[in-house]
Each structure stands twice: as C-alpha cells, then as structure tokens.
C-alpha cells in the first residue's frame, strides 16, 4: 500500500546513519489528491521526483518494494539522474513473465480486479492477500489499519491495474546505466513477483540480491530489513552516505 507507516520502524533503525524519507503516495492515507481518477505510474514517478526537488537533493538512494519498486523502475527510465542507487524489491511486473505462467497471473489479477468492481474491495482482498506468499495474516496497528482500509477502494479501482500492467522500458533503463539491484525475499518462494523479478534481472542484466523474509519484510521484520539495507549499500560503496 501507499502508506509511510509500513516503513516507520525500519526508518527509525536507519535514521542515525542515513537521511531517510518515507511518504504517503498521492491519494493515499495522509496525502491529498483526486480519488476519482486513475493514478498512473508515470504520475507516481513525477511525485517522487518532486519530493527529491523539495528536499533540495540532487541524488538519492531509492528503495521501493512491490508497487514502490515499479515506481523506482519508472524513475530509472525517466529521471535516472536523481538515482544514486536503486533497490527494487520484488516488483510485480507480470507482463515480463514468460507464457504460460505470465498469462496465468495476468488472468488471476484481472479476476481480482473484476471482483473488486462488482462486489467491492472487501470481497477481492482475501485472494489478493493470499497471493503474498508467507506474509503474516495478522492485523496492523489500529491507526495504520484505519488508513489502509480508507484507501483500499481507491487502490483497487484506480491503482491496481496501473501497477499490474506496467511494462518497464528495459532498453531505456539499460541505456541510462542506472546503478541498481533487484531484491528477492528468501521466503517468497514461487510468488508471481518472484517470477517477475527473475525475468526483470534477466532482461536488465543487473545484479540479484537475496533479502530476508517475504514481500512485506520492511514492516514485519524491520531489524532484518534495516540490516540487509546496510549490507547491500555497504557492498556497493554507499555506506553511511548522509
């Protein structure tokens, strides 16, 4: 989801070494925006770029998971000059998955979207969450949970298919020479976003790194997440660059 609260604990653990910025995406949680229109990935990337400008920074280390990783890929395509280093964690770019596996997952998400539009997000959510392999089925803190529930209708109606059908501009990203890795969770097993991540690595020719845990590691395992962020950055020459 698009709420900074999913990263609060992990951000606190990194803040003594790095300047850490988390934000609620446009139309999500505490951010404003028009919830009646589709939210494109291109707009999401422009928003991220605007945050860099507002901070007065020329470059940033960018971490994005799932939809956030997709936004990172769009930045790598359209605004590579602002990326010092990109960690794209399990982006669900299913259109890169070879057939018949790719078609299976495309149909799966299309069915969830259709259910959400005909029966409401409450009916669609269980199948969507079940596709997140080994992610705990446990409640969020009340304040975070309330914000997430408030935006789920918007997510399914106006964001979901924008992410699912996003196709990164592979040639442009390669030509931009973006310093990046694709991260895959150790416990994500055969999830669709793992297949997508492997396909992305193959097409970009970039490095693949293993992260601990599952798709929502930053929230459920903040200590382990912070440690692997430090390790990944250290291995690529970005240790404690405030």
Q: Is pLDDT at 145 greater than 90 in this prediction?
A: yes
Residue 217: domain span: 4-235
Tell me how crowded residue 156 is: count the other CB atoms within 10 A of its CB.
20
With contact defined as beta carbons under 8 Å apart, do 26 and 33 qualify? yes
Q: Is residue 242 part of a domain?
A: no
Q: What pLDDT, on a 0 to 100 scale, did the predictor assign at position 238? A: 81
The pLDDT-based confidence of 157 (bands split at 50, 70, 90) is very high
Token pair for 120? 């409401």
Token pair for 119? 């029966």
Q: Is pLDDT at 242 greater than 50 in this prediction?
A: no
Q: Is residue 240 part of a domain?
A: no
Q: Is pLDDT at 105 greater than 90 in this prediction?
A: yes
Q: Is 143 helix (H, G, I), strand (E, B) or coil?
A: helix
Q: Is residue 241 part of a domain?
A: no
Q: Whole-prediction pTM value?
A: 0.95
Q: Residue 215 is part of a domain; what is its CATH number?
A: 3.40.50.1820
Q: Is residue 185 part of a domain?
A: yes
Q: What is the percent of the chain where pLDDT is above 90? A: 95
Lowest-pLDDT choice from 29-33, 137-141, 202-206: 137-141
Q: Is residue 118 part of a domain?
A: yes
Cα 170 from Cα 209, distance rounded (Å) = 19
Q: Is 208 helix (H, G, I), strand (E, B) or coil?
A: strand
In the chain, the number of structural domains is 1
Q: Is pLDDT at 40 greater than 50 in this prediction?
A: yes
With contact defined as beta carbons under 8 Å apart, do 124 and 208 qualify? no
């Amino acid at each position: 989801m698009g709420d900074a609260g999913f990263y609060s604990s992990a951000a606190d653990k990194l803040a003594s070494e790095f300047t850490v910025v988390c934000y609620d995406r446009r139309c999500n949680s505490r951010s404003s925006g028009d919830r009646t229109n589709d939210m494109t990935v291109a707009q999401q990337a422009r928003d991220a770029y605007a945050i860099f400008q507002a901070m007065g920074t020329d470059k940033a280390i960018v971490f994005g998971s799932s939809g956030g990783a997709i936004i990172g890929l769009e930045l790598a395509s359209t605004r590579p000059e602002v990326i010092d280093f990109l960690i794209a964690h399990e982006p669900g770019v299913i259109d890169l998955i070879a057939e018949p596996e790719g078609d299976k997952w495309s149909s799966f998400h299309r069915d969830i979207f259709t259910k959400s539009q005909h029966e409401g997000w409450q009916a669609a959510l269980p199948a969507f969450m079940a596709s997140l392999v080994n992610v705990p089925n446990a409640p969020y803190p009340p304040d975070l949970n309330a914000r997430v529930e408030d935006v789920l209708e918007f997510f399914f109606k106006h964001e979901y298919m924008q992410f699912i059908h996003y196709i990164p501009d592979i040639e442009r990203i390669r030509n931009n020479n973006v310093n990046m890795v694709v991260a895959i969770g150790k416990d994500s097993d055969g999830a669709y976003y793992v297949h997508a991540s492997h396909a992305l690595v193959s097409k970009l020719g970039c490095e693949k790194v293993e992260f601990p845990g599952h798709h929502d590691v930053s929230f459920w395992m903040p200590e382990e997440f912070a440690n692997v962020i430090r390790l990944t950055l250290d291995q690529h020459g970005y240790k404690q660059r405030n």
